[in-house]
Structure 1
Amino acid sequence: MAAAQQQQVPWANALQQAFRANFPNAAQSGLSTVNPFSSSSQTPPDPVVVQLASVKSNGTPKIQPLVFQDFLAADPRILVFSAATSNPELMSVVKSGQSHEIYWSMPKTKETFVLSSSSRLYIVCASTLSGRFGSAPRKVIVGDEGSQAALNPEEFWETERIRLWHKISPFYRASFTWPSSGEVRTPNPNESWSVYRDQNQIKVSSPVSLGTGFRYTRLDVVGSEFNGQTPPLSPSLLAKFQNATINNHSTLERRAKMTKEEEDQCVHNAAFDNFCLIIFKVTRVDHTACASNNSGPPTRTVYTCTKEGSWVIDDVNP
């Protein structure tokens, strides 16, 4: 199935080759083959950031960064990104928008890819948040027909979320403990979470807030001994932390009631709950490549997917 899909997606090789050439550390980390439960000391690569352009519900444009994570082996049209569910503007446009574009610059090879999606984006989040952000995509091919992955998409995507959580760097992982992106900084740690004060913003509930601010700049995986069958979560500890929050205990009071191990477990679990995957299905690609040494004009090729699933290729003026 993967080989057949690869032949049907004429731009996939160009994008993947450009990725390997421009981001060799990320490519050499073995995106689809990393064993998250191994004891390898290999340093995770820095995040590869692209720009997502969307249209808000009031018709105004919005550009936001996304972190690229992987190509889906079974279907090269599917790109996997990561984000925080506590990012209100991103979750709003992902949930409400039906048209998105990604601008991906390849500085070393002097190429650009504008990747368009005319379908909704899917959010793969913690099961406790699926009611807010929806379930994993069911129509995306994730394995050969008859395989366990093809029969259980929820299990497949949750396994992917766990794998990628282990793969990312401790510094990027720590960002999922930080306050909601775009919120005004405030000295009051007990101020309620909001989704800005924008009437055009979809209101989405926030994951549990630990009130740790920007204290964590590195976060190691807790529960790396798990074999991948069960997410490294401890709901009882999170409930203990949440009950303290409901009872209006301050962060310092909460920490005084918990051991260092319990606090680390809670911070890790809350960060992992905040970590989600964004599934982007490409339906159009605009690829521009500069000639070596500027010896000629750039080449520009547009790939457009038809309703039948075939691709129309047009060479256009740069």
Structure 2
Amino acid sequence: MSSPSSPTSPILASPSPAPWFPMLKKSYTKNFLYTDDPVYISMANIKRSGDVSMHCLQFLSFLEDDPRFLHFPLAMNDNLLMGDIKSDPNARLSWTMPKSKEYYKLTGRFYIASAPIQVTRFPPPRVTNELSAQEFWEKERQKQWKALDDKARAMFTWPSRGEMPKADKVAFTCQSLKHTVPDPRKKTDETQVVHDIAMDNFCLLVYKVSEVEYLDYTSFPPKRTVYTLKDSRWIAKEANP
């Protein structure tokens, strides 16, 4: 989330209902809802150098208020992913549903909802008329933070992912971090300090979908449909399998 000095968040136009979302939600339920394993989605965009950037993003949730938005975790100190998002926030996601034999290719744009003390170049747009963009996305960020397990929270105390050489073992000492509530009776609470540092490092990587390519290969020939958002309306077209 941006501070007051950051660029003003754009106001989100109300689109027509997303016809692809019930299918995607049903596919997710069939394939991943009842597993404890993390769900990863492949992402690709273009680096400043012109090379293709590829990452595996851990899926957190859909946004209840607007199905066009997907949530992923992002560390403020993740220089690799943060750098690639800043170089080009437009990206494609590839999501395979192996159990139901379906495939989704998503086209859209990334936004970053960070802690209020942080400043990011791409604050998410306004979703509702009741709350400002800053208030809405900070509530979402806190909600997703509370939903993380203790080990996932601890990872936001670690050094930047993927960098070499690997940091000393002491940098990964924190391996479990419970969600804590400040105790006003204590002037200094080390557990609370570590928790707050980790939470300030935690961002929501918000992806807004503008096009969906859906492939259903349960039949032969397979069925391919492309959903495109144009002038706040979703247009569906059949495509060759």
- TM-score bracket, normalised by the shorter chain, equals 0.7 to 0.9
Q: Does residue 64 in structure 1 map to residue 58 in structure 2?
A: no
Query: How far is the alpha carbon of 1:71 from its aligned partner?
Result: 1.7
CA distance in 1 between counterparts of 2:84 and 2:217 reads 32
Q: TM-score, normalised by structure 1?
A: 0.65
Q: How many residues align?
A: 227
**Aligned AA for 1:8?**
P
> Which whole-Å deviations, capped at 9, do the CAs of 1:248-299 have from their partners, x for residues lacking one?
xxxxxxxxxxxxx41x2222122111110011111111111221xxx52221
Q: Give the fraction of aligned pairs with identical amino acids, expressed as a percent.
A: 34
Partner of 1:206: none
Larger RCO (CA under 8 A, 6+ residues apart): 2
> Which whole-Å deviations, capped at 9, do the CAs of 1:12-48 have from their partners, x for residues lacking one?
111111111111237xxxxxxxxxxxxxxxxxx4432
Q: Per the alignment, do residues 225 and 106 of structure 1 end up closer, same or farther by CA in structure 2, a change over 3 Å counting?
A: farther
Among 125, 137, 152, the residue aligned to 2:114: 125
Q: Secondary structure at the match of 2:171?
A: coil
More helix by share: 1
More strand by share: 2
Q: How does 1:181-260 map to 2 (within 5 A)?
A: 181-186=161-166, 212-223=170-181
CA distance in 2 between counterparts of 1:223 and 1:48 reads 29
Q: Is the contact between residue 178 and residue 212 of structure 1 (CA under 8 Å) also seen in structure 2?
A: no
Q: Is the contact between residue 115 and residue 284 of structure 1 (CA under 8 Å) also seen in structure 2?
A: yes
Among 88, 107, 120, the residue aligned to 1:116: 107
Q: Does residue 160 in structure 1 map to residue 143 in structure 2?
A: no
CA distance in 2 between counterparts of 1:115 and 1:224 reads 40
CA distance in 1 between counterparts of 2:144 and 2:45 reads 25
Structure 1 segments unaligned to the other structure (5+ residues): 27-44, 190-210, 227-233, 238-260
Partner of 2:39: 48
Q: Is the contact between residue 182 and residue 192 of structure 2 (CA under 8 Å) also seen in structure 1?
A: no
Find the structure with the greater CA-based Rg: 1
CA distance in 1 between counterparts of 2:183 and 2:98 reads 39
Q: Is the contact between residue 67 and residue 83 of structure 1 (CA under 8 Å) also seen in structure 2?
A: no
Q: Does residue 16 in structure 1 map to residue 25 in structure 2?
A: yes
Q: Does residue 25 in structure 1 map to residue 12 in structure 2?
A: no
> Which whole-Å deviations, capped at 9, do the CAs of 1:124-160 have from their partners, x for residues lacking one?
1112212xx236323x32x3x4x2x2xx221111111
Partner of 1:174: 154
Q: TM-score, normalised by structure 2?
A: 0.84
Q: Does residue 74 in structure 1 map to residue 65 in structure 2?
A: yes
Structure 1 runs (4+) deviating above 3 angstroms are: none
Partner of 2:84: 93
